[in-house]
Amino acid sequence: MTIGAVLPLSVRGSYDVDDLGRTEILFKTLDAFSEDNLFSKFLIVTPPNEVEIVTERVKRWQKFNPVVISEEELVPQLKKYPQMRGWRKQQIVKIAAAQMFEDEFYVTFDADVICLKPLTLDKLIDNGKALLQYEPRSFHPKWWKASARLLKMSANIGDTEKGMHVTPAILSCTLAKQLADEISQLWKKHWADAICSLHNPKHPNNWRISRFLQLKWTEYSLYYLCAMKKGNLDQFHVTAGTEEHPQLMLIHDSHPYENWDTAHSFSQNCPGLFCVVGSKSRIEPDEVWQRIRQFVPGYENN
């Protein structure tokens, strides 16, 4: 059994930082910590004009089975919405990636993710169910309200204290496709068109307050709420951070960066499988690498 992976990537990220350089850190840490043949396919999705440079850069990581395609090859509808922000495209890509895998599950990555410790399939999937990490919906209430409006449902479904955590996460292809089908049926158009059309400021329909209130959707709040609406979330996920599954997909020890206890994050005393040193921090990849390399087996002197 394997798992898929998807990484939306632009050479220069949203904050004009070196996201291609950050990806080197992601792959080095995955190289050090992930078991052999973990990933069936590592889908890397880039702007059309960056496919060639990214393909060349990731050649050294053939062990992960990288496949580089353009955003518009994965989601042809994006051609009609050139005004879409990169951050929004990333979220659409993470939903659309489900169509590219034969596995039931895939991991979502961003360029600024760092793997912290040995990564095996049984840490990610248990008895056919993938880890799902929660965070309070109150952290980002607009996400949940906007996504519920887009799905034409109540935002108060289930335990309203529990919402799905952000990248990295594990998504079910079945549930991601379910989400796409649900949006398409509700809005009588392709799901990507339905979402992207919300972000066209020139369209008169978007001058209505009801449309404005749908703008704060995210891929994970949509995914989670749709599964709750259909009543099948528990068929595909188990809860991270419990006595039975103490591991967490993401820890926040690296924020603030200047106070980061790097040794603890990489130790077995920390439950986190991954952390993030966000692009928003504008910390150069080389600085991050110099800080962590002593904890990455095989790369201590690299």
- What is the full DSSP assignment across 213-251? TTTT--HHHHHHHHHHHHT-GGGTEEETTSSSS--BS--
- Over range 124-141, report the average pLDDT: 97
Tens digit of pLDDT for each residue in 148-183?
A: 999 999 999 999 999 999 999 999 999 999 999 999
DSSP conformational letter for 110 = -
Domains for the chain: give ranges and CATH numbers. Answer: 3-295 (3.90.550)
15 confidence band (pLDDT: 50, 70, 90): low
Buried b (16+ CB within 10 A) or exposed e, 232-242: ebeebbbebbe
- Over range 37-66, report the average pLDDT: 97
pLDDT at 84: 86
The CA angle 160-165-171, to the nearest 5 degrees, is 110
pLDDT at 212: 53
- Over range 278-282, report the average pLDDT: 76
Q: Which residue has the tokens 């949006």?
A: 183
Q: Looking at the predicted structure, is the pLDDT value of residue 12 above 90?
A: no
pLDDT at 24: 96
Phi, psi angles (nearest 5°) of residue 6: -135, 140
Round the CA-based radius of gyration of the chain to a whole number and report it.
Answer: 19
